[in-house]
């Protein structure tokens, strides 16, 4: 589950989601993780633990052959496919950066040079296409031959990723002018509050924690000896620590190397700021190559968990063999990624739509499902049995049944009112 959660969401997307929000965004994000992410995370694990099946079978086992579970499952699958269309492209950029940064790092002396490198890569259709292709092909092959290999790889490489992020955080903190970046990240003015931060923070929490689309149901089905509360807290803490480290690496460096601060952000923020950090540190090229390889492995594990959902659905509903279902999903995602490869504006649009609106819609549908079947799944009992605390079980039940859906509905309404 840590392999699925920790990926590009924490390292590429989190700093970009912070944007100009600084400490205020961070506070809203932490609130979203605890009040929104944690209860849904536990509930998804509980569905898997109860039914011992992946999402498709689990909803059927709980709700019978009824239509609601089926429709929800299909919407989750569509969301995972849409996410994969741009996730593969960003994964492809990581592959390209492994090769480019080894030789080019020394030449990235300022933000303009970093921007030019990114523009050269994203502006070249074929380079981006082949990056996307290779990333997606490797993810699909892992999905076909089984996840054991990548699981083992993750076990060793994930701690290395943590270590390298920790070293980079310390490096950023010692840069001249880093204090300004830390001040931006950890102080806030409540009068800057705006609903856009709430939407972005909730979407980022769903994306980063892999909640809403049923991936965790699958992990929950393997959740034997470790309880759902303990597992949730471990995975969510690991993911949040990685996200925070990524912000601590990028923002102080931005303030140190440019006068513009967070205004030079954008979707490519991490791809501009990180090479700049590497180029200004000792053994930069070596660190850069190692970093992008580790990030790539983390991204692959996340991608495999995203691909597994539609593949399992095709195998289950059409009776296809795994390789046939995987090849079909590979082709759909590759074709779907072409608009994002061609246009940075489309990439931004699809990322915004899928990560915020589609994932939140998935969570809302899941909440309605959970409201109906809460007792049948026995989530409160699981929490009580594990922690001995009926109060905690009551709080989680309240958050899932009332708080989370209410927040999403308010967000939808506030957006509709803004539009019209």
Identify whether the C-beta of residue 84 lies closer than 8 Å to the C-beta of residue 348: no
Task: Give the separation between CA 214 and CA 32, rounded to whole angstroms.
Answer: 19
Distance of closest approach, residue 135 Cβ to ligand PFF, in angstroms? 13
- Site residues for ligand PFF, 200-259, by CB under 6 A, read 207-208, 210, 213, 215
* H helices present in 280-321, as ranges: 284-318
Part of the chain binding ligand PFF (CB under 6 A), chosen from 1-9, 116-124, 170-178, 260-268: 1-9
- How many other C-beta atoms can be found within 10 angstroms of the C-beta atom of residue 14? 27
Residue where the block lists tokens 């959902």? 309
Identify whether the C-beta of residue 405 lies closer than 8 Å to the C-beta of residue 364: yes
Task: Give the separation between CA 243 and CA 232, rounded to whole angstroms.
Answer: 16
Distance of closest approach, residue 180 Cβ to ligand PFF, in angstroms? 28
By CB under 6 A, is residue 7 in contact with ligand PFF? Answer: yes
Nearer to ligand PFF among residue 53 and residue 305 (C-beta) = 305
Distance of closest approach, residue 2 Cβ to ligand PFF, in angstroms? 10
Nearer to ligand PFF among residue 248 and residue 295 (C-beta) = 295
Nearer to ligand PFF among residue 212 and residue 284 (C-beta) = 212
Q: Encode 37-70: b = buried (16+ Cβ within 10 Å), e = exposed.
A: bbbbbbbbbbbbbbbebbbbbbbbbbbeeeeebe
Task: Give the separation between CA 76 and CA 35, rounded to whole angstroms.
Answer: 22
Residue among 151, 148, 92 at smallest CA distance from 124: 92
By CB under 6 A, is residue 86 in contact with ligand PFF? Answer: no
By CB under 6 A, is residue 1 in contact with ligand PFF? Answer: no
If residue 174 lies in a helix (H) or strand (E), which one and from where to where? Answer: none
Nearer to ligand PFF among residue 154 and residue 210 (C-beta) = 210
Q: x-or-dash pattern for ligand PFF, window 288-327, by CB under 6 A?
A: --------------x--xx---------------------
Nearer to ligand PFF among residue 29 and residue 207 (C-beta) = 207
Taking CB under 6 A as the criterion, the residue among 9, 91, 92, 220 binding ligand PFF is 9
Identify whether the C-beta of residue 40 lies closer than 8 Å to the C-beta of residue 366: yes
By CB under 6 A, is residue 81 in contact with ligand PFF? Answer: no
Identify whether the C-beta of residue 309 lies closer than 8 Å to the C-beta of residue 118: no
- Site residues for ligand PFF, 318-377, by CB under 6 A, read none
Distance of closest approach, residue 366 Cβ to ligand PFF, in angstroms? 12
Size of the site for ligand PFF (CB under 6 A): 16
Rounded to an integer, what is the distance from CA 93 to the centroid of its chain?
Answer: 16
Part of the chain binding ligand PFF (CB under 6 A), chosen from 6-14, 164-172, 278-286, 365-373: 6-14
Taking CB under 6 A as the criterion, the residue among 1, 2, 3, 5 binding ligand PFF is 5
By CB under 6 A, is residue 56 in contact with ligand PFF? Answer: no
Distance of closest approach, residue 239 Cβ to ligand PFF, in angstroms? 7
Residue whose beta carbon is closest to ligand PFF? 9
Distance of closest approach, residue 249 Cβ to ligand PFF, in angstroms? 16
Nearer to ligand PFF among residue 143 and residue 215 (C-beta) = 215
Identify whether the C-beta of residue 246 lies closer than 8 Å to the C-beta of residue 11: yes
Identify whether the C-beta of residue 386 lies closer than 8 Å to the C-beta of residue 380: no
The CA angle 271-277-280, to the nearest 5 degrees, is 140
List of residues 6+ apart from 99 with CB closer than 8 A: none
Task: Give the separation between CA 284 and CA 370, rounded to whole angstroms.
Answer: 49
Nearer to ligand PFF among residue 10 and residue 171 (C-beta) = 10
Q: Which residue ranges make up the site for ligand PFF (CB under 6 A)?
A: 4-5, 7-10, 80, 83, 207-208, 210, 213, 215, 302, 305-306
């Amino acid at each position: 589950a840590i392999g699925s959660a920790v990926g590009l969401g924490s390292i590429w997307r989190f700093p970009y989601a912070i944007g100009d929000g600084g400490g205020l965004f961070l506070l809203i994000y932490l609130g979203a993780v605890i009040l929104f992410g944690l209860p849904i995370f536990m509930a998804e694990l509980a569905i898997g633990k109860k039914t011992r099946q992946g999402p498709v079978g689990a909803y059927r086992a709980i709700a019978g052959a009824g239509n609601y579970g089926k429709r929800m499952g299909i919407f989750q699958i569509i969301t995972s496919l849409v996410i994969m269309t741009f996730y593969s492209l960003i994964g492809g950029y990581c592959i390209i950066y492994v090769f480019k940064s080894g030789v080019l790092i020394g030449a990235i002396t300022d933000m303009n040079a970093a921007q030019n490198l990114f523009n050269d890569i994203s502006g070249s259709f074929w380079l981006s296409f082949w990056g996307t292709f290779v990333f997606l092909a490797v993810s699909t092959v892992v999905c076909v031959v089984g996840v054991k290999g990548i699981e083992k790889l993750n076990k060793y490489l994930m701690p290395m990723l943590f270590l390298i992020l920790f070293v980079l955080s310390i490096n950023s903190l010692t840069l001249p002018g880093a204090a300004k970046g830390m001040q931006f990240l950890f102080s806030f003015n409540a009068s800057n509050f705006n609903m856009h931060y709430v939407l972005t923070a909730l979407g980022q929490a769903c994306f980063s924690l892999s909640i809403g689309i049923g991936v965790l149901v699958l992990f929950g089905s393997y959740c034997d000896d470790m309880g759902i509360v303990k597992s949730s807290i471990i995975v969510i803490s690991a993911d949040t620590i990685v996200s925070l480290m990524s912000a601590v690496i990028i923002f102080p460096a931005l303030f140190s190397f440019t006068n513009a601060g967070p205004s030079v952000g954008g979707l490519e923020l991490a791809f501009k700021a990180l090479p700049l950090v590497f180029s200004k540190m000792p053994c930069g090229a070596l660190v850069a190559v190692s970093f992008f390889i580790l990030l790539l492995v983390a991204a692959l594990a996340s991608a495999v968990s995203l691909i597994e959902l539609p593949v399992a659905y095709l195998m289950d509903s059409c009776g296809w063999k795994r390789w046939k279902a995987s090849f079909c999903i590979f082709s759909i995602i590759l074709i779907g990624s072409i608009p994002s490869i061609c246009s940075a504006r489309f990439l931004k649009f699809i990322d915004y739509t899928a990560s915020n609106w589609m994932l939140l819609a998935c969570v809302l549908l899941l909440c309605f499902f959970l409201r109906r079947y809460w007792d049948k799944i026995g989530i409160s009992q699981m929490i009580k049995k594990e922690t001995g605390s009926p109060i905690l079980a009551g709080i989680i039940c309240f958050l899932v049944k009332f708080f989370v859906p209410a927040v999403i509905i308010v967000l939808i309404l506030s957006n509709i009112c803004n539009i019209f």
